[in-house]
Structure 1
Amino acid sequence: MSTVLRDAWKTLVPDLDSRHGPLPPLLLALTVVTGLVDAFSYLVLGHVFVANMTGNVVFMAFSLAGAEGFSLMASLVSLASFVVGAVVGGRSANRFPHHRARLLLAATALEGVLVLAAYLSSELTADPPSTAARYLLIVLLGLAMGGQNAAARRLGVPDLTTTVLTQTITGIAADGRLAGGTASKTGTRALSAIAMFLGALAGGLLIHNSDPALPLLIAGLTLAAMVAVVAFQVRSTRPWIA
């Protein structure tokens, strides 16, 4: 237990001169954003994810099989938007191949604009949204999540992918003490799962008890705060930058 807690603490309060510096808590914040955004997309826009593409592939299969409540077109639009966002995010990452702070700043700034645009669009449309408004929101959020994933992938912080939890949870079990491992990364992996859970929980509660668009506002403000934090690190020469 002490190993897990120590690992979790180092993830939340990292040494700024370590290999990844402040990136772990920042990526945890992005994981919370993912939970908020996917809660909105699934609960408000219908059975569609904008960050979890594994789910969308399965939903497309369900739709083709004739299952009710799933839209093949919505899942395809989400998948296509995500891919375009990942391409844009990849091109942005290639502009800063040796400067992770500038990469993260560009990625979070663009993502924040897209998420806040989705929030404003949601506020200006009827509840439930029309078909056109629904697809606009899927496109905006799919682009944002694709860009986020591309940036997180290029940043390369182990066990903090911001969206994919299957491998994370597998690592907790397969590398844990019950499996004969050292559980050396269990704290970090558990925090990633908890961050996703808390984001989705907060999103679900807000949607069912308040304004359905509030998860997007909170996600957008979180991204704005991240932009402010990362902007102060752009001129840093600490080891994690490169």
Structure 2
Amino acid sequence: MLALTFTTGIVDAVGYLGLDRVFTANMTGNVVILGMALAGGDGLPVLGPTLALVGFALGAALGGRLLRGRPSRWNERSTLAFGTTGVVATTLGVCAAVAVPVEHTVWAFVITVLLAVAMGLQAASARKIGVKDVTTVVVTSTLTGLAADSRLGGGGSENWPRRLLAVVLILAGAAVGALLLRGGGQHGVGIGMVVAGVLSLAVAVTGHRLRVRETRG
């Protein structure tokens, strides 16, 4: 889940910097941007965040249906869900490297929607597994828990390493995504998505193998 949090940072950096200031994983950001845009915010996009919201909701609904009735731990459908996210991100990345998306074009909007669907599927699957404080797509609640349950907040600092890592990893992922965009030039959007997709596939394979090992053990 922490590894997927890192990939989320990459994906959102790619979306915000390379796809007209749109988040494909962090829907809070899209809602805020959309609200400001509707109120007349200068130059803020409307269509991109709207499409991302719709795509993410659709992906989350698909994830909910896929995992309905399954145990709240890693199972074969978790592997399918995370593997699908990886395949979608990798395929979109390769396609975007070949046909570079340009802001405000149909192709850019298609990438936005499909990537948001994949991230919604990931978020729903992570929610089903239920690793506390690691949703893979946002860290606001994680940061709140880290501070509120800290010694300063009068708590016992429960799960602080995991919470801190989640915040650090999404930050690091965003930095890596920005660097990939800068270093990759016009192909940066595609490269960023390929890196995130390959890492997601690695998570799916690793999680599946660990589950099989645990079952046999």
Residues 46 and 69 of structure 1 are in contact (CA less than 8 Å); yes or no, is this contact kept in structure 2?
A: no
Residues 50 and 82 of structure 1 are in contact (CA less than 8 Å); yes or no, is this contact kept in structure 2?
A: yes
1:209 aligned partner: 183
Unaligned segments of structure 1, at least 5 residues: 1-26
Identity %: 35
Q: Secondary structure at the match of 1:178?
A: coil
Q: Which has the larger radius of gyration?
A: 1
The reply to whether residue 225 of structure 1 matches residue 199 of structure 2 is no
RMSD of aligned Cα (Å): 1.8
- Deviations 1:117-176 (CA, angstroms, capped at 9, x unpaired): 210221122353561111111011101100011001110110111112111111111111
Choose from 28, 41, 53 the match for 1:54. Answer: 28
Hey, what's the Cα distance between the residues in 1 that align with 2:151 and 2:110?
A: 47
Aligned-partner residue type, residue 217 of structure 1? V
- Deviations 1:187-215 (CA, angstroms, capped at 9, x unpaired): 11000001101110100011112233221
Q: Secondary structure at the match of 1:96?
A: coil
Hey, what's the Cα distance between the residues in 2 that align with 1:95 and 1:69?
A: 45
C-alpha distance 109-127 of structure 1, shift in aligned 2 (>3 A): closer
Residues 203 and 215 of structure 1 are in contact (CA less than 8 Å); yes or no, is this contact kept in structure 2?
A: yes
Residues 72 and 128 of structure 2 are in contact (CA less than 8 Å); yes or no, is this contact kept in structure 1?
A: no
Choose from 136, 139, 152 the match for 1:162. Answer: 136
Hey, what's the Cα distance between the residues in 2 that align with 1:101 and 1:146?
A: 18
- Deviations 1:31-75 (CA, angstroms, capped at 9, x unpaired): 011001001000000111111111111111111111123221111
Residues 20 and 104 of structure 2 are in contact (CA less than 8 Å); yes or no, is this contact kept in structure 1?
A: no
1:176 aligned partner: 150
Q: TM-score, normalised by structure 2?
A: 0.91
Aligned-partner residue type, residue 155 of structure 2? G
Q: Secondary structure at the match of 1:179?
A: coil
The reply to whether residue 139 of structure 1 matches residue 139 of structure 2 is no
Residues 20 and 103 of structure 2 are in contact (CA less than 8 Å); yes or no, is this contact kept in structure 1?
A: no
Q: TM-score, normalised by structure 1?
A: 0.82
Aligned-partner residue type, residue 119 of structure 2? M
**How far did residue 97 of structure 1 move?**
3.5
1:118 aligned partner: 92
Alignment of 1:181-200 (within 5 A): 181-200=155-174
The reply to whether residue 149 of structure 1 matches residue 131 of structure 2 is no
Residues 47 and 69 of structure 1 are in contact (CA less than 8 Å); yes or no, is this contact kept in structure 2?
A: no
Residues 63 and 120 of structure 2 are in contact (CA less than 8 Å); yes or no, is this contact kept in structure 1?
A: yes
Hey, what's the Cα distance between the residues in 1 that align with 2:72 and 2:32?
A: 37
Unaligned segments of structure 2, at least 5 residues: none
Hey, what's the Cα distance between the residues in 1 that align with 2:128 and 2:34?
A: 28
Q: Which runs of 4+ in 1 moved over 4 A?
A: none
Q: Secondary structure at the match of 1:163?
A: coil
Hey, what's the Cα distance between the residues in 2 that align with 1:236 and 1:99?
A: 14
Hey, what's the Cα distance between the residues in 2 that align with 1:31 and 1:80?
A: 21
Residues 117 and 140 of structure 1 are in contact (CA less than 8 Å); yes or no, is this contact kept in structure 2?
A: no
